[in-house]
């Protein structure tokens, strides 16, 4: 525990508490030799500033929070893990808010955080716009893999559009022409981007967009199953399916196996995310890989800049992280007309 106080350090060094405080917060205001002496003493006695006193005095917020809508989803679990480590390295407490896709819970978490003068909040995809906007009024915010009104918020996203293009382009190269798409709720901007990428790439290759080949899921495993069932009711089955995330892709895969449909023999399948956990499955999924570490590092860096830096109100940062194609065993040359 923080045994020593700033006063004791001051006494030992024959200086004043004010100066000691300065070497902590504005080192350049203290002359070199004195600064070194104070630093050394702190080191020796193992001085730790009392965070409560410091916050009370400076009236600034403390700590970060991370909102995710489903911690059981490995994509978010990885984000939680990564941000958790980044925060710890900087000595910043991180509160995880798992909203379970429930606006009521979002509100409770947010109220509670604002009461406690949180320093900043990082929001993941799937959190309602209302909650984010309310947070923005009172604290620093960064969005990770989530898009809100242009230019208003700092956000870090994968290049969802380009990623989707890569996926469809790849299937096109494999001679697929009837490509199904499994999307998500319209409110998820990042997933809508993938849809745009899908549609544009088709059209760029001279294939008109066919709404019958678009199935809206909810990004969960089960909707993958539903999607495949739907596609099989079509007079002409798609020869390939692009799923907006891995979980649904695995729904497709599982259902296909259960029905004796061969992947990629009968249908090719490509996912989005490339979650390492899914190596559990006996079949390695081909997918567009998101660089989760880069996503988190950028979001965290921007947050730190906001917390430390001058509160200049310029245009908000916007970082786009590239994706890459990770080939697995679920895509093959098209075998049907």
Chain residues binding a second copy by CB under 8 A are 1-2, 48, 50-53, 55-56, 62-63, 71-72, 74, 77-78, 80-81, 84-85, 88-89, 91, 93-98, 100, 105, 108-109, 112, 114-117, 138, 221, 250-251, 254, 257-258, 277, 280-282
Nearer to a second copy, 58 or 205 (CB): 58
Q: Which two tokens stand for residue 275?
A: 């979650």
Taking Cα atoms as reference points, which of 285, 292, 286, 301 lies closest to residue 321?
292
Contacts of 76 (CB under 8 A, 6+ apart): 68, 69, 70, 124
**Interface positions, 20-59, toward DNA (CB under 7 A):** 21-22, 24-25, 28-32, 34-35, 47-50, 53-54, 56-59
Whether cis (ω within 30° of 0) applies to the bond prior to 170 is no
Minimum CB separation of residue 198 from DNA in Å reads 51
Distances (CA, A) of 146 to 49, 85, 160, 220, 295: 36, 21, 11, 18, 11
Per DSSP, 28 falls in state G
Q: Which does 149 bind (CB under 5 to 8 A by kind): a second copy, DNA, none?
A: none
| Residue whose CB is less far from DNA, 30 or 296 | 30
Report whether 41 contacts 57 (CB < 8 A): no
Closer to a second copy by CB, 162 or 284: give it.
284
Q: Give the phi and the psi of residue 153 in degrees, each rounded to 5.
A: -125, 155
The one of DNA, a second copy, none whose footprint includes residue 19, by CB under 5 to 8 A per kind, is DNA
Judged by beta carbon, residue 43 or residue 104, the one nearer DNA is 43
Cβ contacts of 229-233, under 8 Å, gap ≥ 24: 229/255, 231/180
Applying CB under 7 A, the residues found at the interface with DNA are: 2, 4-7, 14-19, 21-22, 24-25, 28-32, 34-35, 47-50, 53-54, 56-59
């Amino acid at each position: 525990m923080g045994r020593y106080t700033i006063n004791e350090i001051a006494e030992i060094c024959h200086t004043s508490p004010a100066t000691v405080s300065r070497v902590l917060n504005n080192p350049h205001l203290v002359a070199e030799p004195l600064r070194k002496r104070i630093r050394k003493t702190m080191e020796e006695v193992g001085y730790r500033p009392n965070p409560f006193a410091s916050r009370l005095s400076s009236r600034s917020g403390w700590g970060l929070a991370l909102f995710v809508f489903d911690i059981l989803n490995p994509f978010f679990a990885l984000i939680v893990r990564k941000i958790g480590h980044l925060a710890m390295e900087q000595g910043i407490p991180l509160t995880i808010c798992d909203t379970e896709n429930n606006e009521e819970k979002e509100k409770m978490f947010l109220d509670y955080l604002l009461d406690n003068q949180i320093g900043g909040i990082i929001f993941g995809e799937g959190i309602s716009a209302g909650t984010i906007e309310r947070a923005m009024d009172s604290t620093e915010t960064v969005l990770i893999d989530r898009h809100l009104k242009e230019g208003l918020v700092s956000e870090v996203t994968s290049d969802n559009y380009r990623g989707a293009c890569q996926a469809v382009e790849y299937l096109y190269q494999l001679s697929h022409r009837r490509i199904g798409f499994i999307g998500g709720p319209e409110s998820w901007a990042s997933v809508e981007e993938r849809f745009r990428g899908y549609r544009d790439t088709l059209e760029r290759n001279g294939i008109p967009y066919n709404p019958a080949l678009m199935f809206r899921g909810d990004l969960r495993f089960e909707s993958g199953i539903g999607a495949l069932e739907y596609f099989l009711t079509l007079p002409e089955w798609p020869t390939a399916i692009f799923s907006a995330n891995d979980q649904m892709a695995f729904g497709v895969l599982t259902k296909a196996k259960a029905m004796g449909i061969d992947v990629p023999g009968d249908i090719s399948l490509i996912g989005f995310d490339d979650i390492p956990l899914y190596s559990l499955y006996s079949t390695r999924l081909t997918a567009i890989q998101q660089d989760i570490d880069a996503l988190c590092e950028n979001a965290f860096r921007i947050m730190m800049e906001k917390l430390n830096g001058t509160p200049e109100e310029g245009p908000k940062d916007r970082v786009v992280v590239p994706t890459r194609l990770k080939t697995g065993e679920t895509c093959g040359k098209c075998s049907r007309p």
